[in-house]
């Protein structure tokens, strides 16, 4: 099953016969960003906190869904004939615009949300185009990397959740399964030692339960309970949700032993996913890591992933060709390089050349 908006004309970045979006939104578990299209350095991107389980853990999922629809409608223009492109951090059927779930947005709620239909019912004179955020990130990355037009690449977001996307380099079509899904690697089983954590989706020992932003904090809390008190006493890491992200990043920069032990444990499951991916698809030339966690601690995160893969990575190749891993596992150069706002606009028919500002 192919994404109906995925085929992109390599020359212009548009789907034949379509008109580009005039407004773009990127909805994540923590922040919602919105702007007119094309983006302009002179016009700041508007940011508001998303009504989500991440920000409001006690609010029922049905209320959060209603609040999100209200937020989208309030931020987007209602001008007749306009097109609004939405990048949504959720597992969704790309053909029907139906969300199956999003742990950062709605926790373990398993209710299918026909987000496109709900928006059409609220504002029928606007064309709503809803795409997964990582699909949009892949489109943005391709828009500024013409040298990779013939290459098979995957973009992986590591933020409040984890997911990956790849497309066919010859057609730009993103293959999907019968549910219209691809790349929900955050909900793959995590192979761990004796540490067991619950994913925000309600299932134990998923990759995201360890390697996402909330997962890293959960790993830190679990390891702290059994760590040497002398090691904890000198660590700069503060485990409270308000202070963890800032202090953890600073502690990694300062070579804090506790912080690095936490990160090594946290990234093991996602490093294993990369190992499986490269074992079965060795023609992938680039796995690009992006997202909020990578923006904060990307260098440390990549180093820990590579360390795991060198020790327990692709059979024989990881040890005999270590430079190969270094060339394949890379970080996005900046948040703009994989901007979901840019990617959403491209997938809604916008001219990819309008995205050249991010270079």
pLDDT tens, 148-193?
A: 999 999 999 999 899 999 998 888 888 999 988 999 999 999 987 7
Compute the distance between CA of residue 135 and CA of residue 120 in angstroms, rounded to an integer.
22
> Which of the residue ranges 92-106, 201-215, 332-346 would you say has the lowest mean pLDDT?
92-106
Provide the token pair at 177. Answer: 């399964």
Within 184-316, strands assigned E span 284-290
Per-residue pLDDT averaged across 203-207, rounded? 95
Q: Long-range pairs for 60-69 at CB < 8 Å and ≥24 separation?
A: 61/106, 61/107, 61/109, 61/111, 62/109, 62/111, 64/105, 64/106, 65/106, 65/111, 65/113, 68/27, 68/105, 69/115, 69/118, 69/119, 69/122
pTM of the model: 0.90
Q: What percent of the chain clears pLDDT 70, i.e. is strictly above it?
A: 92
Q: What is the pLDDT of residue 19?
A: 64
Per-residue pLDDT averaged across 68-93, rounded? 93
What mean pLDDT is reported for the chain? Answer: 89
Architecture of domain 190-290+292-331: 2-Layer Sandwich (3.30)
Helix (H, G, I), strand (E, B) or coil at 260: helix
Q: Is the pLDDT of residue 215 over 80?
A: yes
- Contact between 160 and 209 under an 8 Å Cβ cutoff? The reply is no
Q: What are phi and psi of 46, to 5 degrees?
A: -80, 135
CATH of 23-139+338-358 among 3.60.110.10, 3.30.230.10, 3.30.420.40, 3.40.1650.10:
3.30.420.40
The ranges assigned to domains in the chain are: 23-139+338-358, 190-290+292-331
Same fold, 23-139+338-358 and 190-290+292-331: yes
Helix (H, G, I), strand (E, B) or coil at 117: helix
Compute the distance between CA of residue 160 and CA of residue 156 in angstroms, rounded to an integer.
13
Residue 218: in which H helix or E strand, if any?
helix 213-224
Q: What is the pLDDT of residue 68?
A: 97
Q: Is the pLDDT of residue 306 over 70?
A: yes
Radius of gyration of the chain (CA): 20
């Amino acid at each position: 099953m192919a994404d109906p908006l995925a085929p992109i004309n390599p020359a212009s970045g548009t789907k034949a016969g379509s008109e580009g979006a005039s407004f773009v939104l990127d909805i994540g578990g923590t922040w919602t960003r919105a702007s007119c299209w094309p983006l302009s350095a002179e016009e700041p991107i508007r940011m508001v906190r998303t009504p989500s389980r991440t920000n409001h853990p006690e609010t029922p999922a049905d209320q959060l869904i209603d609040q999100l629809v209200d937020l989208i409608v309030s931020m987007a223009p209602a001008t007749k004939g306009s097109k609004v492109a939405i990048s949504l951090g959720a597992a969704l059927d790309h053909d029907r615009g139906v969300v199956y779930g999003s742990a950062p947005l709605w926790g373990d709620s398993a209710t299918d949300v026909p987000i496109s239909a709900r928006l059409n019912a609220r504002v029928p004179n606007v064309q709503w185009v809803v795409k997964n955020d990582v699909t949009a990130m892949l489109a943005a990355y391709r828009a500024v990397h013409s040298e990779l037009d013939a290459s098979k690449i995957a973009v992986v977001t590591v933020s409040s959740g984890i997911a990956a996307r790849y497309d066919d380099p010859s057609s730009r079509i993103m293959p999907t399964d019968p549910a219209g899904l691809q790349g929900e690697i955050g909900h793959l089983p995590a192979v761990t030692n004796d540490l067991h954590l619950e994913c925000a989706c309600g299932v134990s020992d998923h990759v995201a339960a360890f390697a996402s932003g909330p997962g890293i904090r959960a790993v830190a809390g679990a390891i702290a309970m059994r760590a040497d008190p002398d090691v904890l006493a000198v660590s700069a890491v503060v485990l409270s949700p308000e202070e963890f992200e800032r202090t953890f990043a600073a502690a990694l920069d300062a070579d804090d032993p506790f912080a690095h032990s936490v990160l090594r444990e946290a990234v093991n499951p996602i490093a294993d996913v990369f190992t499986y991916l490269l074992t079965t698809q060795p023609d992938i030339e680039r796995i690009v890591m992006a997202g909020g966690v990578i923006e904060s601690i990307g260098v440390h995160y990549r180093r820990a992933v590579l360390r795991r893969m060198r020790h327990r990575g692709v059979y024989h190749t990881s040890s005999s060709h270590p430079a190969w891993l270094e060339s394949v596992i890379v970080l996005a150069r900046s948040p703009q390089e994989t901007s979901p706002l840019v990617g959403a606009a491209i997938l809604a028919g916008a001219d990819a050349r309008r995205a050249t500002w991010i270079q």
